[in-house]
Structure 1
Amino acid sequence: MYSFNVRAPSVAGYFYPNDPAEIRVMLSSLQKKIQKRIAPGKIIGAVVPHAGYIYSGLSAMHAYTTIMDSQKADPLKFIILGPSHRGYPIYPAVYDSGSWITPLGIAEIDSELGKDLLSKSHTARYDLEGHEGEHSIEVQIPMLQYLLDGKLRFLPIQLGDQGIKITDMLADDILKIKSDFILIASSDLNHYEPQKITNEKDYALISKITSLDIQGFYSVLEERQVSACGYGAISVLMNVTKKLNGKMELIHHSTSGDVNGDLQSVVGYSAIISYLPE
């Protein structure tokens, strides 16, 4: 899936169209459904889902258009945290140089961000193979390429261990980076339960996210059995936000059942922004 630090797409044609024109039509349609929203402060990052665009694209577009409409910096740089659905490798795996290819073209890795993080981190390691075949970060790339007219620079970090200790440590490492960046936590919420149960579980978890209650967040995950796949990525963003005295706010929630009408087995999605109040 990669050669000379060039990663080819793994899920084009599955999670998003393989045809560039189809991607643009789909994303343009989603974009037209979003009302302009300005965050009440400087954007730190966002929780963004990573399912197929037909299902989670509307929530993802809410997050990204809010970021684009709120930020004046140009160009924007992104650190994108995603869970490894295989649980491997255990450490945060950093793809620190090269590029990723999607149907919309080449997306450059920000090697300066990667070098800065790896030189200061006690948790993250250089690892290309940890990203092979994983979709949680890849799904974010075409949408960002579309919104940034192809000028995307990003640093992908794959998480195997998503525990409370390592995510706190990784947040500290990320805060040592000197450059400005937007931190994306790629995660879906509850999986494959009826709509009513998923909504209840999702909002129980979201309440802990928006209150920056990290211990409570992990308690809800365990006690309510909320199957949010990227909970570690969310935890890193919560930790960074809390350490910066920022806030987090839900701006959109949806489920797969809202799209396909199957309310017996749904997946939950959210767009939650993190910002520094003015």
Structure 2
Amino acid sequence: MPSVAGYFYPNDPGEIRSLLSSFQRKIQPRSIPGRIIGAVVPHAGYIYSGLTAMHAYMAILGKTGNRPLRFLVVGPSHQGYPIYPAVYSSGSWVTPMGVAEIDSDLGRKLLSRSGIARPDPDGHEGEHSIEVQIPILQYLFDGNFKFLPVQLGDQGMRVTERLAEEILKLEEDFILIASSDLNHYEPQEITNQKDDALISRVTSLDHDGFYRTLADAGVSACGYGAISVLMYVTRKLKGRMVLIHHSTSGDVNRDFRSVVGYSAIIAYLPDQ
């Protein structure tokens, strides 16, 4: 059952559709010069980060149309546990929008190749970083998708690089979603500066510099491990990452004293 319905997003499917439709109408989908392989998307309450998240998903929709899609969604555990990557590998996920099917084939393949990931549906209980993505997928792709949730407790480079290598070995066609907000609870100007510094590392695929910036600049991006996984996969596939939207909670509530940053960053393989 959903953990944050009625809190991070409405508990009523009609209200969800109305809110997401209002975001959709504000967006001119960004043209991406290649095949999209992933995206960084935020996971705050929809009223704050939903527009930025919709930018990423609309770019995906613009490239994929109505064909069936598979998503591998990596998100952080805000509680820090389980430590290992916890895979929700079979069954379904229920939201107010209905039932979303877990990609059990993808889950089985990942677990059979992985030395660190474990099947652990219970490890996802109470966590919102993946849950908030699902109603958006249900709204835009109308049930024409499957997804595999993977939750990270340990977000260190050693774990994320190993998980990324195991994801690369899947050799399957799916879109990798990295669920993360950016800097937290500092003034707008500082958050914009810190977010800019981190985003520049992401879009240049500077993995070492990404972790250095997190530490040296004190960027409190909660899902940095998920971003790290996507960066590593993109670099190995000789892809690129581009920022298509950035915002803060202050842009919505006009309180610029303490804001959270959000980004939509697309990973793609350039057209030849």
Q: TM-score range by the shorter chain?
A: over 0.9
Q: Which residue of structure 2 lines up, in the alignment, with residue 191 of structure 1?
A: 184
Equivalent runs, 1:101-140 vs 2, <5 Å: 101-140=94-133
Rounded to whole Å, the distance in 2 between the matches of 1:226 and 1:178 is 33
Rounded to whole Å, the distance in 1 between the matches of 2:144 and 2:37 is 20
Q: Which residue of structure 2 lines up, in the alignment, with residue 96 of structure 1?
A: 89
TM-fit CA distance, 1:28:
0.4
TM-fit CA distance, 1:71:
2.2
TM-fit CA distance, 1:178:
3.1
Change in Cα spacing, 1:27 to 1:72, as seen in structure 2 (3 Å) is: closer
TM-fit CA distance, 1:49:
0.1
TM-fit CA distance, 1:72:
5.2
SS in 1 for 2:115: coil
TM-fit CA distance, 1:73:
7.2
Q: Deviations over 1:22-77 (max 9, x none)?
A: 00000000000000222110001000000000000010000000011012572010
Q: Which residue of structure 2 lines up, in the alignment, with residue 239 of structure 1?
A: 232
SS in 2 for 1:62: helix
Structure 1: give runs of 5+ residues left out of the alignment: 1-7
Decide whether the 8 Å contact of 2:30 with 2:244 is kept in 1: no
SS in 1 for 2:67: coil
TM-fit CA distance, 1:195:
0.1
* Superposition misfits of 4+ residues, deviation over 2 angstroms: none
Decide whether the 8 Å contact of 1:92 with 1:123 is kept in 2: yes
Percent of aligned pairs sharing the same letter: 72
Rounded to whole Å, the distance in 2 between the matches of 1:204 and 1:36 is 25
Q: Which residue of structure 2 lines up, in the alignment, with residue 34 of structure 1?
A: 27
Change in Cα spacing, 1:73 to 1:216, as seen in structure 2 (3 Å) is: farther
SS in 1 for 2:11: coil
Alpha-carbon RMSD: 0.8
Structure 2: give runs of 5+ residues left out of the alignment: none
SS in 1 for 2:265: strand
* Amino acid corresponding to residue 185 of structure 1 in structure 2: A
Q: 1:256 aligns with which of 246, 249, 266?
A: 249
Q: Which residue of structure 1 lines up, in the alignment, with residue 76 of structure 2?
A: 83
Decide whether the 8 Å contact of 2:66 with 2:141 is kept in 1: no
* Amino acid corresponding to residue 83 of structure 1 in structure 2: P
Q: Which residue of structure 1 lines up, in the alignment, with residue 174 of structure 2?
A: 181
Rounded to whole Å, the distance in 1 between the matches of 2:5 and 2:180 is 19
Rounded to whole Å, the distance in 2 between the matches of 1:56 and 1:73 is 25
TM-fit CA distance, 1:176:
1.1
SS in 1 for 2:129: coil
* Amino acid corresponding to residue 44 of structure 1 in structure 2: I
Q: Deviations over 1:136-192 (max 9, x none)?
A: 000000001000012231000000000011100100000111321000000000000
Q: Which residue of structure 2 lines up, in the alignment, with residue 271 of structure 1?
A: 264
* Amino acid corresponding to residue 277 of structure 1 in structure 2: P
Decide whether the 8 Å contact of 1:93 with 1:128 is kept in 2: yes
Equivalent runs, 1:62-77 vs 2, <5 Å: 62-71=55-64, 74-77=67-70
Rounded to whole Å, the distance in 2 between the matches of 1:19 and 1:73 is 25
Q: Deviations over 1:217-276 (max 9, x none)?
A: 000000011000000000000000000000000000000000000000000000000000
Q: 1:149 aligns with which of 134, 142, 146?
A: 142
Rounded to whole Å, the distance in 1 between the matches of 2:112 and 2:172 is 14
Rounded to whole Å, the distance in 1 between the matches of 2:23 and 2:125 is 28
Decide whether the 8 Å contact of 2:67 with 2:144 is kept in 1: no
SS in 1 for 2:14: helix
TM-score by length of structure 1 reads 0.96
Rounded to whole Å, the distance in 2 between the matches of 1:123 and 1:275 is 27
Q: Which residue of structure 2 lines up, in the alignment, with residue 52 of structure 1?
A: 45
Q: 1:160 aligns with which of 138, 148, 153?
A: 153
